[in-house]
């Protein structure tokens, strides 16, 4: 019987579904954007029901475009925006509040409390993460403190928490399943990545009763099925689950310790496979579970850049400097250099290695001769500089500077950005032929989960090269540009807002 795999890639700004055949070739896809909600400065939210309806729509559309019917689908793989937090009433299935997006900063005061109570070191040792508003535990705590219905439902044993994967599986299964996988669980601040279990002490810190938490399953296993009355009219195994960045690491076939990938989407996330060892960083990197299967857990270290593609979206939609994302490449390439103009897009603070949630966006070096091409170029350059920051942190932690980085995500089509990235980081930048590697990772996990591929070794021939960007800029010039970036970051840090103001 033919094998067809449906990959659902539920992202920060859109939901996408791709149907793959049994050789992991894409057959058809569908994508739908959904609303971004900004109730207050620094807050970012989504409507959970709109997320769900967008997934239903793109899944049905992709299957139809592939010339299939839902019963033809052998398995579903889900990959999702991580850390985004949804709480709902188990009895009614209704959310108690909007989804609080990973970018959102409304839980900053809770992080400050954690630090003042001297708990940050304990959290880092157990989770590999920092006490930052980025992660789900702080967002759960915010909902419990600010939405009276949530606290009451938790007392009654009816409140349920999930990252987006859990929410989707709850809906797909007709409310029968409440699960997540190890990669998503490891991003919550509530999961001990060494013992691989929900941690009582961590739950107490954030005020979360363990009754609200999903069961944790392996990333590749037939742990759930869709309910025909709830999703697509067919019973289909849900056999792959992974957070989007871990799924991209798997889809890039970074399967050996030392393999590195960087995904350029709304944010930018660089991960290095560290094998079965949870390497603990001293320089602002995160330790995370990459995936689990067959009783084995693979770990990674990660650098997180909060703003990448969303900076391009801002200069397009927010201030109208460009009419399309593609125009940034044309404008950036029209200049011989940046003429000293730098843009630090700290819209929601700075991630690795700074982890300053109060920094705000800054443009430096503006003169009377500064034109929109300079802003466009500075926006693209900022993504490369932030990636270099992450590589420097990895070098300090591991003593290793990667010689190459596999790249994926919507921005890798921008040749200016990819070339500049190679120059600033001093590494080969490798772009695959099929660049939707986040969805591919989910499909591969699902295929292994149902036994279509018997092992990881069977998928190693799937990846193919499109282009390699080699460093071409003299190192002295590249280092001078990077020094200018570090000066601009210091300016952004000097513009820090008061934490209490960020929550008002």
Residue 297 has pLDDT above 80, yes or no: yes
Q: Given pLDDT bands bounded at 50, 70 and 90, which one contains residue 277?
A: confident
The answer to whether position 42 is within a domain reads: yes
pLDDT at 67 over 50: yes
Share of the chain above pLDDT 70, in %: 98
pLDDT (0 to 100) of residue 336: 93
Instruction: Give residue 349's pLDDT.
Output: 85
Confidence label for 222 from pLDDT (cuts 50, 70 and 90): confident
CATH for 226 = 3.30.420.40
Question: Looking at residue 499, what is its pLDDT?
Answer: 42
Residue 221 lies in a domain: yes
Residue at 328 is within a domain: no
| pLDDT for 86 | 98
pLDDT confidence tier of residue 498, bands split at 50, 70 and 90:
low
Whether pLDDT at 1 is above 80: no
218 lies in some domain:
yes
The arithmetic mean of pLDDT across residues 143-164, rounded, is 95
Residue 322 lies in a domain: no
pLDDT at 151 over 60: yes
Give the C-alpha distances (Å, rounded to integers) separating 362 from 488, 496, 499. Answer: 8, 10, 18
User: How far apart, in whole angstroms, are the C-alpha atoms of residue 4 and residue 336?
Assistant: 48
The answer to whether the beta carbons of residues 380 and 420 sit under 8 Å apart is yes
Q: What is the pLDDT of residue 395?
A: 87
The Cα 139–Cα 84 span in angstroms is 8
Residue whose pair of structure tokens reads 């139809």 in the numeric block: 64
Return the pLDDT at 371: 93
Flag whether 307 is in a domain. no
pLDDT band at 501 (very low <50, low <70, confident <90, very high): very low
Predicted confidence band of residue 306 (pLDDT cuts 50, 70, 90): confident
Distances in Å between the alpha carbon of 17 and those of 43, 60, 197, 388? Answer: 27, 9, 31, 32
Q: Which of 76-85, 277-286, 296-305, 463-472 is predicted least confidently?
A: 277-286
Instruction: Put the strands of the sheet holding 296-305 in their side by side order.
Output: 286-293, 296-305, 268-275, 260-264, 404-408, 428-432, 465-469
Q: What pLDDT score does 167 carry?
A: 97
pLDDT above 80 (res 361): yes
Q: Can you give the residue range of the structural domain that contains 178? A: 4-14+23-245
Side-chain half-sphere CA neighbours of 424 within 13 A: 25
- The mean-pLDDT minimum among 67-76, 127-136, 349-358, 360-369 falls in 349-358
Q: How many domains does the chain have?
A: 1
- Specify the pairing of strand 296-305 against strand 268-275: antiparallel
Query: Is 139 inside a domain boundary?
Result: yes
Is residue 239, in this structure, part of any structural domain at all?
yes
Q: In angstroms, rounded to a whole number, what is the distance separating the alpha carbons of residues 248 and 436?
A: 8
Q: State pTM to two decimals.
A: 0.87
Mean pLDDT of the region 241-270: 92
- Cβ count within 10 A of residue 486: 12
| Phi and psi angles of residue 197, each rounded to the nearest 5 degrees, phi first | -160, 160
Q: pLDDT digits over 106-130, tens only? A: 999 999 999 999 999 999 999 999 8
pLDDT reported for residue 122: 95
Q: Mean pLDDT score of the chain, rounded to an integer? A: 92
Q: Give me the pLDDT at residue 111, please.
A: 93
DSSP 257: T
Question: Is the CB of residue 382 less than 8 Å from the CB of residue 345?
Answer: yes
State residue 502's pLDDT score: 41
Does the pLDDT of residue 276 top 80, yes or no? yes
Is 264's pLDDT higher than 70? yes
């Amino acid at each position: 019987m033919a094998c067809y795999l449906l990959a659902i890639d539920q992202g920060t700004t859109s939901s996408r579904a791709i149907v793959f055949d049994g050789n992991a070739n894409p057959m058809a896809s569908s994508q739908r954007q959904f609303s971004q909600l900004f109730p207050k400065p620094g807050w970012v939210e989504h409507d959970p029901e709109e997320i769900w309806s967008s997934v239903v729509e793109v899944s049905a559309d992709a299957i139809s475009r592939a010339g299939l019917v839902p019963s033809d689908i052998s398995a579903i793989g889900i990959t999702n925006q991580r850390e985004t937090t949804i709480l709902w009433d188990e009895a009614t299935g209704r959310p108690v509040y909007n989804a609080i997006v990973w970018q959102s900063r409304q839980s900053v005061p809770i992080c400050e409390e954690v630090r003042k109570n001297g708990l940050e070191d304990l959290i880092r040792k157990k989770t590999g993460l920092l006490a930052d508003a980025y992660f789900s535990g702080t967002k759960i705590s915010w909902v419990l403190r600010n939405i009276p219905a949530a606290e009451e439902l938790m007392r009654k044993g009816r409140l349920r928490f999930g990252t987006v994967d859990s929410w989707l599986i709850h809906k797909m299964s007709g409310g029968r399943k409440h699960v997540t996988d190890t990669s998503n669980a490891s991003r919550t601040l509530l999961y001990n990545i060494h013992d691989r279990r929900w941690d009582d002490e961590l739950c107490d810190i954030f005020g979360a009763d363990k009754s609200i938490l999903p069961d944790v399953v392996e990333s590749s296993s037939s742990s759930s099925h869709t309910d025909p009355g709830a999703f697509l009219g067919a019973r289909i195994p849900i056999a792959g689950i992974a957070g989007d960045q871990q799924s991209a690491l798997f889809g890039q076939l970074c399967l050996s310790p030392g393999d590195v990938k960087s995904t350029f989407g709304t944010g930018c996330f660089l991960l290095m496979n560290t094998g079965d060892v949870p390497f603990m960083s001293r320089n602002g990197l995160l330790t995370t579970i990459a995936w689990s299967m067959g009783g084995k857990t693979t770990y990674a270290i990660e650098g997180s850049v909060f703003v990448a593609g969303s900076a391009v979206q801002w200069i397009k939609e927010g201030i109208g400097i460009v009419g399309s994302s593609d125009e940034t490449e044309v404008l950036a390439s029209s200049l011989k250099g940046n003429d000293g103009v730098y843009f630090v897009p700290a819209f929601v603070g700075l991630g690795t290695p700074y982890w300053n949630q109060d920094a705000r966006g800054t443009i430096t070096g503006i003169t009377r001769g500064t034109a929109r091409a300079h802003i466009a170029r500075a926006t693209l350059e900022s993504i490369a500089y932030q990636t270099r920051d992450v590589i420097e942190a990895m070098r300090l932690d591991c003593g290793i500077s990667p010689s190459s980085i596999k790249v994926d995500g919507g921005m890798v089509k921008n040749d200016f950005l990819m070339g500049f990235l190679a120059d600033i980081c001093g590494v080969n930048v490798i772009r695959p032929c099929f660049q939707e590697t986040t969805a591919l990772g989910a499909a591969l996990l699902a295929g292994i989960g149902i036994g279509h591929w018997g092992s990881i070794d069977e998928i190693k021939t799937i990846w193919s090269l499109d282009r390699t960007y080699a460093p071409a800029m003299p190192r002295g010039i590249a280092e001078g540009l990077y020094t200018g970036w570090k000066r601009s970051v210091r300016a952004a840090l000097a513009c820090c807002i008061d934490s209490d103001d960020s929550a008002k």
